[in-house]
Amino acid sequence: MRVRHPHGETPHLRRVPPGTPVPVLLYHSVSADDTGRVGRYSMTPALFRAHVAWIAEQGFSTLTVSDYAAALRGEIPLPGRPLVVTFDDGYADFLDQAAPVLAEHRVRSTLYVTTRPVGETRRGTLGGRPMLTWGELRQLAALGVEIGAHSHDHAQLDLLPRSKALQQVSTCKRLLEDHLQVDVRSFAYPHGYNSSATRRAVMAAGYASACGVQNARSHTRDSLWSLARIMFERDDGVDRLRRACVTDVDPVARVGDTIRSRGWRLARRVLVRVRAQALAPPTTSGM
């Protein structure tokens, strides 16, 4: 069933009641810098602080993605009012601008790291921003931030041959585990793009869960291999956060590929052939 969304989108609604909705939030960067490709995905420190303060005030029980996945598998109980905070890519500003605010409000989080650019500081790296170093990632892991993997090159995995996709998801796991001496149990698809072949590669590499992007709430019957996340951009205020977390206005995720996502994959495949690197924002809607 499809219904017209009040804001003009046409979300899919599941016919089966989805169980408890669980907001899984996706951020990229917390920075006053609004330039470059990541500018649109960089939230100001003041607004991010307001988001985290609201999450704390509302009394959500925050958990890492791996804890959420364990709850979905029935291994641990899901706490009341669950909420998950995630960050993608591994920008350096996470250490100074996000981690202290999250720690102050005791909000747990999962940080998905793309491994090839780790430690790069010059402009022109992934998104044109400085990236966290291995030492900083070790610090964050010691602070209790869950470190997940986000591929080695930030590639559109669903367009790669199986062997190359497997290499992307395995290399980043091995590098993170070697450098940080932690188990890396969760993966996030770059741009949210995934297919059944991509999901199988992630399972084969030894992960226990994976996140996509659907701009819908996850729920207790969501797929462990494509958990829905709601992405926040620079100007998404606390009102949008509230709508995403506690109202029934935003939809809950549907499970499995849609005709729309398959069509978009086909279009990207053609575009990538025509223009190498044609589409490379940090994350786009995981349609």
Residues that bind Zn ion (CB under 5 A): 88-89, 190, 282-283
Q: What are phi and psi of 165, to 5 degrees?
A: -65, -40
- Number of neighbours of residue 79 by Cβ within 10 angstroms: 14
Choice between 18 and 192, CB closer to Zn ion:
192
Minimal CA–CA distance to 244: which of 213, 287, 200, 198? 213
- Judge contact between 213 and 26, C-beta under 8 A: yes
Choice between 41 and 60, CB closer to Zn ion:
41
**Nearest distance in Å: CB 150, Zn ion:** 6
Which residue of the chain is nearest Zn ion when measured via CB?
88
**Nearest distance in Å: CB 62, Zn ion:** 21
Sequence-separated (6 or more) residues with CB below 8 Å from residue 41:
27, 28, 29, 127, 231, 233, 234, 281, 282, 283
Choice between 48 and 91, CB closer to Zn ion:
91
Sequence-separated (6 or more) residues with CB below 8 Å from residue 149:
112, 113, 115, 169, 172, 173, 176, 184, 186, 187, 188, 207
**Nearest distance in Å: CB 285, Zn ion:** 13
**Nearest distance in Å: CB 283, Zn ion:** 5
Choice between 67 and 89, CB closer to Zn ion:
89
Choice between 88 and 153, CB closer to Zn ion:
88
**Nearest distance in Å: CB 191, Zn ion:** 6
**Nearest distance in Å: CB 68, Zn ion:** 19
**Nearest distance in Å: CB 154, Zn ion:** 6
The span from the first CA to the last CA of the chain, in angstroms, equals: 17
Q: What are phi and psi of 227, to 5 degrees?
A: -65, 135
Choice between 88 and 250, CB closer to Zn ion:
88
Sequence-separated (6 or more) residues with CB below 8 Å from residue 223:
255, 256
Residue with tokens 């980043």: 172
**Distance from C-alpha of 258 to C-alpha of 282, rounded to nearest angstrom:** 22
**Distance from C-alpha of 287 to C-alpha of 279, rounded to nearest angstrom:** 14
Choice between 212 and 282, CB closer to Zn ion:
282
Per-residue DSSP letter, 98: I
